[in-house]
Structure formats: C-alpha cells, structure tokens
Amino acid sequence: MKALLSLVLSGLLVAGAAEAQPVRQPYAVPPPDAPELAALGAYAIGTQTLSVDALDSVVLSATGIARMTRTIKARVWYPADAVPGAARTTFAHALPRPDGTGAPFAIPSLAVDGAAPIKGKRFPLVVVSHGYNGWDTFMTWLTENLATKGYVVVAIDHADQRVVNPADFPVSFGNVLIHRARDVRFIIDDLTRRAGKASDPLGQAIDANAIGLVGYSMGGFGVLGAAGLDYAPTSPVLAQLPAPARDQLLASQAEGKALVARIKGVVALAPFGGSPAVRVWSEATLAAFAKPVLLIDGDQDDIVDAPGGVSWLFAQMAGNQRHFLLYQNARHNVGGNPPPPEADADFSTREYFAEPVWRTERINAINQHFITAFLDLHLKGDEAKRAYLDVTPPLAGDGQWPLVPFQNVGGRPASAEQAGFWRGFQQRWALGLEMRKGEPAKR
C-alpha cells in the first residue's frame, strides 16, 4: 500500500507543478462514501497497449461484405514495480458528440506507462469489453481499481464505426454483433499463449487458468457469448445478418469452446440481447449456463429493457450462481467513467456519460465494491467475499442498523455484527439498491 500511495502522491505533485492544469482525481480512486471493497488495493500499477490480428474477418460495409485482417487493439493494466517519482500517465480521447465533432479531453490515470510488471507472481486475468461506440479507457474507474487489487486487466478497443447518418447504423451495429465475442476470444487466446512464454514479462504475470470477463451493454452481450452462453441461430437479430457474417459468428462460438473452461465468472452491466424484440439467447441455453454471473443494471433502463430483457436473462438462468444488482430509478449509464468537465457545455454529450438521478461516482464506487467481491470469490477463491454478495434484505433500504439519538454515522462499514444490513455499506448509506440472487437448481 505504501508503494501505491507514494506513486499517487508523486503523480499529484508532478501534475500540481503545472498550475494552469487543475488536478483531476483518477476515476479508479473511490470517494469517501464508497462501500468497503471499493478501496484501492496495495499494488502500484503500470499500463501498456497490445494488438492482435484477427485473420479472415468478415466485415460489413455500405458496399457489401469483405474478408480482411482486423487488428484488435487493447490496453492492459497490471501490478507493477513502483518507480519512485514516476509521473502517472493520462489518456486522450474525443468527446462522443453524436455528429462526430467532439473536442479532445483527458482521462486521468493511476498508472505509469510502460512500468515493468511485478516478477515472480501471477494474477488472474480480467478482460473488459466496452459498450457500443465506447473505447478502451472508457471504464478506467474499474480497470485501474482492479489492477491495484492484484488483477491483470485488459480493456479492448473494439473500434466501432460511429454513426453520423442513420444509414450508417445497420452496417455499424452489424459489425458489433459479429465481432464482440470474437474479439474477446482473440484477446484471451493471445494472452493465454503469452502466459506460457518465459521471456514475456507481461505473460509471466498472468494466471491463464483464472479468467474473468466484464462487459457493458454490447460488451455484456459479447462477454456472455464468449463465456459459452451461445447465441441462438434462430434469433431475429442474427437472422438480419448476411449469411457469411452469421456463419462466422456461429463458427467463432463453436471454436471458442476450448477457452471456456478457463473462464471462472462473468460480470454483465446492462447487457444487450434479452429484450423480446432483440432476443439472442434461448431459454434452454440460459437454463444450462453454468458460469457464475453478476448482472448489474438500472431498473429503469430503457435502452436494453431492464424489466423485459435483463430481468428475463436472470430469471431464465437456472444452472449457475448468480446475482443481479439493480439501481432503483437508474437507466442505462451504469458502466462508464463520470462525465468529464469538457462535456458540461453540451447536454447530448453529458447524457452519454451521466444518469438522471444517480451520481456516476456513486454508481462506480458501488460497482467497484460488488465486482471486487464477485471476482475475488470466483477467480481467487476468497470465500469471505461471499457475504458481500449474499446481502439481506433484498432491498437495501429495508436494512436494519438503527442509530441512537444524536449519533453520527461515523463511516464504519457493516460487518457480520450487522446481519440485517448490507455488508460493507456505511450506516444509512445502503439505499436505492436491490440484490436478487439464485443458485443452481437442485436435480
């Protein structure tokens, strides 16, 4: 922990030396009101990029279908040897304005670019897939937070085609359907091979038999598919794809079976594919799916249909350990970084990041807490984290941990002594949340 704090403080000092540039807190750092497991871990972290060639990829365009090599780019964060005085990096991106004219903005980071991975220790691998038109550093609130806790985290940049004109959408979205799960498999395959190379410093930091997947929106669609939840060939969505594209998608899921055994758990935030009009899975496939799953969504999500889509996915699962965290009065934006200050001047840009009711920083902190519990349990075998998922009562606001008259809350998180209150949340602060859970059906 001292190494990480030293790195954070040195970065703040370097940034503070340029008085014209205000210091922004990296999104991985949780606010003081965060639940217990959101806290940063003990490791300093590094970051680097990687790329993988996907040969013979079917790609849709306005003029037809092509087969080509797609280069899949990604960014990886990992526990690193601390470099005293090293400045933390920042990531540049353009604001996602609908018309494609967004100005550049900076994403603050905890990581040191190119820092050497820690030697002599392997860490579970977590692959992160962003939502439609997202990018690799869209979820640094999670990717960097997990890396400080002893995970190698790789976030894919799927390079979705931005839709400027309505006519662009079928081509853009069609390519997303074809490539999401396939991209995840290519990245896993590349990194598991690297894990077997003694000469590869990053590969030597990866435990290739402990893999978790995290996906938001279309990324949720992708990671569920990559984990072995096969898409139904008769899906009305897949039926709209040209035959070569549909064939490649289905062939990829058949070829990916060899990787599935290494995947120990899946987190899907507001996943696409469950709503009746766009349903891509069958009831039988969902019932037989055995991987542990954590679903997260807003109960008012009108993009992927929380009541009829995501809730349906959860209800149809019967063969796995599963949890479903619902934010009351939240919509779809439960997976990205907070809106940067540069987005404040334009509502349509801010709307891309923000929620109508909830603070994004609060959502991210709660997600850090629960995703940490889930991954620690299923990838690291930390049984103590199960209590943070199996919370009672189902509605957080019904929890019992009364205050005596004139008592201050004090910030102490609930422990086993507060069995009727959500574990790890401060007194009075477990509110606006619902947790559903299920176990494999008894046979």
CATH number at 20 reads: 3.40.50.1820
Are 78 and 153 in contact by the 8 Å Cβ rule? The answer is yes
How many domains, the chain? Answer: 1
C-alpha dist (Å) from residue 149 to 78, 106, 153, 385: 9, 24, 11, 14
76-102: average pLDDT: 90
Which residues lie below 8 Å from residue 47, measured CB to CB, with a gap of 6+?
75, 76, 77, 78, 89, 109, 111, 112, 113, 114, 115
Mean pLDDT of 14-27: 55
- Tell me if residue 384 falls in helix, strand or coil: helix
DSSP for 400-428, written as a single string: --PPPTT---TTPBP-TT-TTS-TTPBTT
The answer to whether the predicted template modeling score (pTM) of the entire model surpasses 0.85 is: yes
Is 135 contained in some domain? yes
What's the confidence (pLDDT) of residue 406?
A: 79
Rounded Cα distance between 406 and 31, Å, is: 25
Q: Are strands 152-157 and 206-216 parallel, antiparallel or unpaired?
A: unpaired
Q: Has residue 409 been placed in a domain?
A: no
The answer on pLDDT for 17 being more than 60 is no
Does residue 407 fall inside a structural domain?
Answer: no
Look at residue 410 and tell me if it is in a domain: no
Sheet holding 322-327, edge to edge: 112-113, 45-61, 64-79, 152-157, 123-129, 206-216, 263-269, 293-298, 322-327, 433-438
Distance from CA of residue 205 to its chain's centroid?
A: 21
Length of the chain, please?
443
What is residue 10's predicted lDDT score, i.e. its pLDDT?
42
**Residue 320 and residue 318: Cα distance in Å, rounded?**
6
Tell me the C-alpha to C-alpha distance, in Å, between residue 141 and each of 11, 137, 271, 430: 17, 9, 19, 21
Tokens of 354: 């923000």
Q: Under a CB-based contact definition with an 8 Å cutoff, are residues 307 and 275 in contact?
A: no
Q: Measure the CA dihedral 293/296/302/305, to 10°.
A: 20
Output DSSP code: residue 238.
G
The phi, psi pair for 44, rounded to 5°, reads -70, 155
Give the separation between CA 374 and CA 430, rounded to whole angstroms: 18
- Identify which of 94, 88, 102 has the alpha carbon closest to the alpha carbon of residue 28: 88
Tokens of 256: 């990916």
Distance in angstroms (rounded) separating the CA atoms of residues 305 and 293: 19
Residue 34 falls inside a structural domain: yes
Q: Is the pLDDT of residue 340 over 80?
A: yes
Distance between CA atoms of 67 and 242, rounded to whole angstroms? 13
User: How far is residue 87's CA from residue 11's CA, in Å, rounded to a whole number?
Assistant: 5
At residue 345 the predicted structure's pLDDT band, cuts being 50, 70 and 90, is confident
Q: What would the pLDDT profile of 142-199 be if each residue is shown by its tens digit?
A: 999 999 999 999 999 999 988 777 888 999 999 999 999 999 999 999 999 999 999 9
Residue 269 lies in a domain: yes
Per-residue pLDDT, averaged over 228-256, amounts to 94
Is residue 405 included in any domain, yes or no?
Answer: no
Quote the CA–CA distance of 398 and 261 in Å, as a whole number. 39
**In this predicted structure, what is the pLDDT of residue 20?**
39
Q: What is the DSSP string of 253-311?
A: HHHTHHHHTTEEEEEEES-SS-SGGG--S-HHHHHH--S-EEEEEETT-TTTTIIIIIH
Residue 195 in 3-state DSSP? coil
**Does 404 reside within a domain?**
no
> Is 213 within 8 Å of 34 (Cβ atoms)?
no
Of 187, 401, 386, nearest to 294 by C-alpha is 386
Domain range enclosing 362: 2-399+416-438
Residue-level pLDDT at 121: 97
Instruction: Name residue, tokens 């559903």.
Output: 436
The answer, yes or no, to whether residue 11 has pLDDT greater than 90, is no
